[in-house]
């Protein structure tokens, strides 16, 4: 699979670009961030792939595109695994990382990673397929691996325009949904749900809202979604619902903001 990149990307000056590689259970993507202009200038994402096909297709793409083997200012690898949990910093023990995931998931074979952030009071423990992990480390230089929820949480914690207590829903068109709840800029809850139909998305959204004891008249819900179905459905239950928008200035004219997953946009806003 040959990827065509815009002529405006100067591969003679790779030190000006940050390459982000996002690997999910059924797809992957590549994006370039131009550090001089402060904008995304390229984004490519595969269609959904069959189970267990991601690694083989990923290798084919990497070997077919020489630009992916160049040395960039930084390379961020986003681990899009849904096998993850958050452990309070005060309780975390490195030797117990697999035990944490064993308690919650049946199949967590592979490499277990622990991720700390200075801004967090917890450690993200997440799994990644062992062969993919080793291949990524061999294939890229100056690699930084982050779980996909980390940049989202980091950005939401530091967004000055958000209220002190709120819930954020990030729903994709492929039936995946993440919910994050915050109070006083600290994460109270973060979880992922597979929601193949709308009624399941509604159920999980309202269940978490009730579980966190949020007030339907006073507290705020922000929704990131590719269509308005979920927003329209929840309006009869929660009064303060708003669409969540990112600053448009980080996207070049050739990039549509809604094409780029929330975690990749938040990575640029929080880490670059």
pLDDT digits (tens, 9 = 90+) for 151-166: 999 988 887 667 778 9
Give one DSSP letter per residue of 4-47, joined into a string. PPPTTS-GGGGGGEEEEEEE-SS-EEEEEEETTTTEEEEEEEPP
pLDDT digits (tens, 9 = 90+) for 8-29: 889 999 999 999 999 998 899 9
Q: Specify the number of domains making up the chain.
A: 2
Same domain, residue pair 109 and 14: yes
Same domain, residue pair 133 and 171: no
Residue 272 counted as domain residue? no
* pTM of the full structure: 0.92
Of 112, 147, 182, the last residue of a domain is 147
Residue 113 counted as domain residue? yes
**Can you give the residue range of the structural domain that contains 169?**
163-243
CATH number for 37 = 3.30.420.250
12-36: string of b/e by CB count within 10 Å (b at 16+)?
Answer: eebebbbbbbbbbbbbbbbbbbbbe
Residue 261 counted as domain residue? no
CATH number for 195 = 3.30.420.260
Of 122, 147, 172, the last residue of a domain is 147
Same domain, residue pair 1 and 133: yes
Give one DSSP letter per residue of 88-131, joined into a string. ETTT--GGGHHHHHHHH-S---SEEEEEE-TT-SEEEEEEE-HH
Residue 30 counted as domain residue? yes
Same domain, residue pair 98 and 231: no
Residue 99's pLDDT is 93
**C-alpha to C-alpha distance for 61 and 259, rounded to whole angstroms:** 20
pLDDT digits (tens, 9 = 90+) for 208-227: 999 999 988 889 999 987 77
**C-alpha to C-alpha distance for 245 and 235, rounded to whole angstroms:** 18
Same domain, residue pair 135 and 198: no
Residue 250 counted as domain residue? no
Lowest mean per-residue pLDDT among 34-43, 51-60, 178-187, 250-259 = 250-259
- Give me the percent of the chain exceeding a pLDDT of 70: 96
Residue 158 counted as domain residue? no
Residue 102 counted as domain residue? yes
Residue 105 counted as domain residue? yes
Same domain, residue pair 128 and 174: no
E strand or H helix at 203, and its extent?
helix 198-211
Same domain, residue pair 132 and 1: yes
């Amino acid at each position: 699979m040959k990827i065509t990149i815009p002529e405006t990307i100067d591969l003679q000056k790779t030190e000006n670009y940050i390459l982000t590689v996002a690997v999910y259970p059924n797809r992957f993507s590549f994006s370039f961030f131009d550090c001089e202009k402060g904008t995304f200038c390229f984004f490519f994402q595969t269609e959904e792939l069959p189970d267990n096909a991601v690694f083989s297709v990923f290798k084919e793409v990497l070997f077919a595109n020489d630009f992916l083997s160049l040395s960039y200012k930084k390379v961020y690898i986003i681990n899009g695994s849904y096998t993850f949990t958050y452990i309070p910093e005060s309780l975390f023990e490195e030797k117990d990382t697999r035990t944490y995931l064993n308690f919650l998931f049946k199949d967590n074979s592979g490499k277990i990673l622990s991720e700390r952030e200075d801004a967090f009071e917890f450690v993200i423990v997440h799994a990644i397929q062992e062969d993919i992990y080793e291949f990524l480390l061999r294939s890229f230089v100056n690699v930084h691996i982050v779980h996909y929820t980390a940049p989202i949480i980091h950005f939401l914690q530091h967004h000055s325009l958000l209220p002190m207590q709120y819930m954020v829903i990030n729903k994709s068109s492929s039936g995946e949904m993440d919910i994050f709840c915050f109070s006083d800029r600290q994460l109270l809850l973060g979880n992922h749900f597979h929601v193949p139909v709308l009624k399941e998305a509604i159920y999980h959204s309202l269940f978490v809202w009730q579980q966190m004891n949020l007030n339907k008249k006073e507290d705020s819900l922000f929704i990131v979604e590719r269509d308005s179905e979920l927003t329209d459905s929840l309006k009869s239950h929660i009064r303060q619902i708003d669409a969540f928008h990112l600053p448009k200035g980080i996207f070049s004219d050739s990039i549509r903001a809604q094409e780029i997953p929330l975690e990749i946009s938040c990575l640029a806003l929080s880490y670059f």
